[in-house]
Amino acid sequence: MAILFTNVTAALMDQAGTILTGGYVQVDGSTITYVGAHRPQGDFDRVVDCTGKVMLPGLINAHTHLPMTLMRGYGGGCDLQTWLHDYIFPAEGKLDAQAVAAGTGLGLAEMIASGVTCVADMYMFTSTIAQEILKAGISANLSCGGVYFGDPADFDPNTCGDCIAQRELTDAWHGAGDGQILMDASIHGEYTSSAPLWQWMAQFAHDHHQRMHVHVSETVSEHQACLTRHGMTPIQTLNQYGVWDNGGIAAHCVYTTPEDWAIMAGKGVSCVHNPYSNLKLGSGVAPIPDMLKAGVNVALGTDGMSSHNSADLFADVKLAALLHSGVRCTPGAVSPRQALEMATVAGAEALGRPTGQIVAGKVADLILVDFTAPNLTPCHDVVENLVFAAHGSNVVMNMARGKIIYENGTFYTLDLEKIQAQVKEYALPLLFG
Amino acid sequence: MAILFTNVTAALMDQAGTILTGGYVQVDGSTITYVGAHRPQGDFDRVVDCTGKVMLPGLINAHTHLPMTLMRGYGGGCDLQTWLHDYIFPAEGKLDAQAVAAGTGLGLAEMIASGVTCVADMYMFTSTIAQEILKAGISANLSCGGVYFGDPADFDPNTCGDCIAQRELTDAWHGAGDGQILMDASIHGEYTSSAPLWQWMAQFAHDHHQRMHVHVSETVSEHQACLTRHGMTPIQTLNQYGVWDNGGIAAHCVYTTPEDWAIMAGKGVSCVHNPYSNLKLGSGVAPIPDMLKAGVNVALGTDGMSSHNSADLFADVKLAALLHSGVRCTPGAVSPRQALEMATVAGAEALGRPTGQIVAGKVADLILVDFTAPNLTPCHDVVENLVFAAHGSNVVMNMARGKIIYENGTFYTLDLEKIQAQVKEYALPLLFG
C-alpha cells in the first residue's frame, strides 16, 4: 500500500523545527518513505489532498490505563482514600476480560478520534488490552504493574504472579504485530512493591531488551514515605537495584529532585508529565522546566480516565505549555514547541519507538488537523495554533502504522456502536450494577 | 414561538443543585415557562427530543475581547512588552469597523458552536460589536474600556472621548434588542486611567443603572504600582471614587486581598476568573477558593483570543475546577459544581442578567450536549462529565433568548463562510499584510 499526501503543511517535529508547506509525504507500508518539496514519482493506491489541513505526527499518550475509561467520573468528589477504597478498588475487583475489552475499546475510540497513534498503558488483563490494540491498529507499550511486596526469603520467581505474568506476556506479545506491541518491564511503584521484584524485573528487562514503566513520586506522601523507608527518593531507591539500567518511563515525577534528574538523564529514563491528573488528584505541579533544563526527556500522558476524565491529549499539550508559565509567573517557562515535543518526538523517545516525527524512515503515524475550523482561524503560526487553539475534535484523519484507521468521524478498525453496547449492557452492570 | 423539549436530562443550576431526568422544558418567546416532570399541555411550534443529550444553561463568557480573535496566536513566544508594543498595538492601530465585524463574527461562531449564549465584552468599535451581537442572537454586556489618564484640571466630560463614547453607546445600545444588549460603564483599569474618569463613570453608572467592567490586579506589577501610587489596592482605590457602587465585573483579581474581597462581596462586584489567560501571560493563579469562601461571586471568562487562543469555555470550566486543587495540593479546592456555576448562574449574576439557570421565568438560554459521544461515556455523574470530560465540540444545540441559533454544526444566524472570507480577504491583509 502506497499513499501520497499532497499540498502538505506539516509540523515535522524534526530537530530543525521545520514547518513544511506545500510539500509531499509518501508512505509505503507502515513507513514514511519521503518528506519534501517535490512530488515523488510512482503509482499510489491513494492520494490525499491536505489543503486546509495541518499534518502532525500522531500523538503519543505515554502513561494511561485504558480500561479505567469505564470509571470515568466514578466516585468524583470524594477524597483520595475514599475514592480508591470505596469506589475504584471494588469496581476493579469485578472486572473480567469482556469488560476490560469494552473499556479498552471505548478509551481507544476516544484517543484515535483525537489523534493518538501510540500509548504506554499499565493495567491488569494485559492480554485482553493487547488484543484490542492489535485490532485498533495503533502502537502500544504494555505493562501490568508488578506489586510483589514480600520478603526476599519468600520470593520465588517461579511462583510470583508478577514474574509469571511478565514472562507469559513477553512470550505472547513482545514485538507482536511487527513491533506494534512491545512489553515493558513493570513495577507499579516503589510504595507498592519490594526489592526482590525490583531486582528480578531489572534483570528480566536487561535479558529481554525491555524498558521499564513505573509510577514515581506522584504524591508528596508517597515520596516522603520512601525517604523514611530507604533514606533516598524512589528514583534513587530503584536505581540501587538496576531498575533504570535499560531506560524507560517514570510516570508523574512531581516530587523528583535534581539528583533524580541526573540519574534519569544519564540512564535514558523519561519523565511522563500528567498535568491534568496531578491537578485533579491534588498531587501538585511537577518541576517540568527544571527537568527539561537538566536534560531529562519529558513525555506527556493523560493517566487513566478516572483521574482526568478526557483523553483529548491536545488539552494536555496546552496545559503543559501554560501551567508552568502561570505557577512560576514566567511566560514561556515551557515553550509551545517543547509541549508539542512532549506529545510527539519525546513520547517516541520515552517508549523507545521510531515514530513521533514526520521524517523518512520513521513509522507512518500521522494525523491531519482541520485548520479551516473557526477555532483555528486565523493561523499566524502553525505551532501556536496546534498547541493553544486546537482540540482533539479538529482531527480529521488518523493514520497509524501506515493505515488510515479514522477519517472524518468514521472509525475503520473499531465498531463504536458495538463497543458502546458492550459498555452499557455488559461492563457497567457488571462493575456498578 | 413555543418550543417543548422532551426526555430532558438537565443540570438546572438552581440552588438545590437539581439534576432533572426524563423531564420537560417549555420555552415561549424568549422565556423558559415550564421546567418539570409533567408534559405541559398546548400546541408547540417544535418539539425537541433530548434523549441521549444533557441540557445546561447556555454558558456565559464574562470577560472577553471578541475582535482580538483576529490576533489568535499572533506574536506568540515574545515577552509581554514586546508582544504588546511590537505586535498587538500596531495591529490594533490598523483596525477598522469592517475588520472588527469580521473578527467579532469569527469569535462569535466559535463561542456559539461551543455553547456560549452570553458574553461581557470590552473593546473599541463597540457599536460594530453590538451590531454583530444583535445579528448573532446571543446576549452581551458591552463596554469600551475608558482610558482617560489626565489631570482633574484638564478633564472635560463634554470633550473627553471616553465620556462621549459612554453617552453615545448608552443612547444607541443600552437595552437594545429587548435587553439583548446592555452597556456596562467601563474603565479599562486603574493603571490606564485616572480619578476624573473614575468619578464621572461611577456617576454615569449610577444615573443610567449600569454595572461596571474593569481589569483589576491582573499582574503583580500592576497591583504593586497601584499600592505605590495610592497606598492601596486597585479595588480599594477605585472604591474611593464610587466605581463599585452599582456592582459589576472585576476581571482577573489575581492579586486581590481579603480587604478587596470584603468590598466586592459587599457591593456586588463579581470576580471574573480567567485561568487560561492568567497562565499564558504568566500572571499567576487567582485566589479563587478564598474569594468563594469570602462570599465573592466568581464568574468565568476566556479573555481575548490573543491570550488564550481558544473560546471553548468548557476547557475553562475544567481548568477552574482543577487548577486550584493542584497548586494547593487540595483535591476539590474548587468543586465541579462551583466551576460549572462560574460559567452559568454566577456569570448571570456578574452581568446582572436573569439567565444562567433552567428555571421558569429565566431567559431561554439553553444548550444541549451530546452524551452519546465516546468522551462522555459512561456517565456516572452528569456534573462530573460536564465539568471534566465535555468539550465544546459536544454541543449540538445552542438556543439563545428562545431561538435556536446553532444545531448539529449549522449556524442559523451567522454566515460562517462569509465571515471567514472577510477575515481572510479583508481583515488579515489590513492588519498584518
pLDDT at residue B78, rounded to an integer: 74
CB contact under 8 A, A385 and B325: no
CB contact under 8 A, A279 and B326: yes
Residues 299-358, chain A, touching B (beta carbon < 8 A): 305, 308-312, 315, 318-319, 322-323, 325-333, 335-336
pLDDT at residue A79, rounded to an integer: 73
Interface contacts A/B by beta carbons within 8 Å: 196
CA distance A123 to A188: 9
- Type of residue at A255: Y
CA distance A44 to A50: 16
CB A194 within 8 A of CB A149: yes
pLDDT at residue A33, rounded to an integer: 98
Rg of chain A, C-alpha, whole Å: 21
Query: For chain A, what percentages of helix, strand and coil (3-state, to nearest 5) are there?
Result: 40, 25, 35
Closest CA to A111 of A345, A356, A367: A367
Which stretches of B174-284 are DSSP H helices?
176-179, 195-208, 220-230, 234-239, 258-267, 275-280
Establish if B79 touches chain A: CB-CB under 8 angstroms. yes
Query: Which cell numbers hold the place of A208?
Result: 529481554
CA distance A101 to A422: 9
Residue A10 forms beta bridges with which residues?
A: A20, A55
CB contact under 8 A, B282 and A312: no
CB contact under 8 A, A336 and B416: no
What is the length of chain B? Answer: 433
- Type of residue at A140: A
pLDDT at residue B311, rounded to an integer: 96
Phi/psi at B155 (nearest 5 deg)?
Answer: -80, 125
CB atoms within 10 A of CB A190: 26
Closest CA to A52 of B417, B331, B271: B417
> Looking at beta carbons, which residues of chain A come within 8 Å of B332?
77, 79, 282
CATH topology of domain A2-57+357-411: Urease, subunit C; domain 1 (2.30.40)
Interface test with A, best of B218, B276, B277, B322 (most A CBs within 10 A): B322
pLDDT at residue A345, rounded to an integer: 98
In DSSP notation, A367-383 reads EEEETTSGGG-S-S-HH
Residue in A with minimal Cα distance to B72: A378
- Type of residue at A91: A
> Looking at beta carbons, which residues of chain B come within 8 Å of A285?
326-327
- Type of residue at B328: R
Long-range contacts of A157-163 (CB under 8 A, 24+ apart): A157/A200, A160/A196, A160/A197, A160/A200, A162/A186, A162/A193, A162/A197, A162/A201, A163/A197, A163/A200, A163/A204
Task: Report the sign of the C-alpha dihedral through residues B386, A115, A341, A305, in that order.
Answer: positive
Residue A182 forms beta bridges with which residues?
A: A141
pLDDT at residue A217, rounded to an integer: 97
CA distance A114 to A397: 9
Query: For chain B, what percentages of helix, strand and coil (3-state, to nearest 5) are there?
Result: 40, 25, 35
Per-residue pLDDT 10s for chain B (433 aa) are 899 999 999 999 999 999 999 999 999 999 999 999 999 999 999 999 999 999 999 999 999 999 999 999 998 877 777 888 899 999 999 999 999 999 999 999 999 999 999 999 999 999 999 999 999 999 999 999 999 998 889 999 999 999 999 999 999 999 999 999 999 999 999 999 999 999 999 999 999 999 999 999 999 999 999 999 999 999 999 999 999 999 999 999 999 999 999 999 999 999 999 999 999 999 999 999 999 999 999 999 999 998 889 999 999 999 999 999 999 999 999 999 999 999 999 999 999 999 999 999 999 999 999 999 999 999 999 999 999 999 999 999 999 999 999 999 999 999 999 999 999 999 999 999 8
Residue in A with minimal Cα distance to B429: A378
Q: How far is CA B89 from the centre of its chain?
A: 23
CB contact under 8 A, B389 and A309: yes
User: Is the ipTM here above 0.95?
Assistant: yes
- DSSP 8-class letter at A367: E
Number of H helices, E strands in chain B: 18, 18
Closest CA to B383 of B343, B421, B336: B336
CA distance B231 to A258: 42
Q: Which residues of chain A have pLDDT under 70?
A: none
CB contact under 8 A, A72 and B329: no
CB B265 within 8 A of CB B314: no
Query: Which cell numbers hold the place of A41?
Result: 514519482
- DSSP 8-class letter at A369: E
Establish if A109 touches chain B: CB-CB under 8 angstroms. yes
CA distance A215 to A200: 18
CB contact under 8 A, B326 and A284: yes
CB A25 within 8 A of CB A37: no
Closest CA to A278 of A332, A323, A333, A213: A323
Longest Cα–Cα distance of chain A, Å, equals 66
Residue in B with minimal Cα distance to A375: B110
In DSSP notation, B18-29 reads -EEEEEEEEEET
- DSSP 8-class letter at A87: I
| HSE, side-chain direction, 13 A CA sphere, residue B420 | 15
Query: Which cell numbers hold the place of A66?
Result: 485504558
Establish if B109 touches chain A: CB-CB under 8 angstroms. yes
CB B428 within 8 A of CB B115: no
Place of cell 536534560: A295
Residues 229-288, chain A, touching B (beta carbon < 8 A): 275-276, 278-285
CA distance B251 to B229: 21
Establish if A428 touches chain B: CB-CB under 8 angstroms. yes
Residue B6 forms beta bridges with which residues?
A: B49
Interface test with A, best of B51, B61, B72 (most A CBs within 10 A): B72
Residue range(s) occupied by CATH 2.30.40.10 in chain A: 2-57+357-411
Establish if B98 touches chain A: CB-CB under 8 angstroms. no
Q: Enumerate residues 6+ apart whose C-beta is below 8 A from B85.
A: none
- DSSP 8-class letter at B88: I
Place of cell 490586579: B217
CB contact under 8 A, A388 and B310: yes
Q: Enumerate residues 6+ apart whose C-beta is below 8 A from B90.
A: none
CA distances to A406, B65, B393 from B370, in Å:
20, 29, 9
CB B59 within 8 A of CB B369: no
CA distance A189 to A199: 14
**B252 in the Ramachandran plot: left (φ > 0), alpha (ψ -120 to 50) or beta?**
left
CATH of B59-351, one of 3.20.20.70, 3.30.420.40, 3.20.20.140, 3.30.110.40: 3.20.20.140
Nearest Cβ partner of B282 from A279, A326, A420? A326
- Type of residue at B192: T
Query: Which cell numbers hold the place of B97?
Result: 469597523
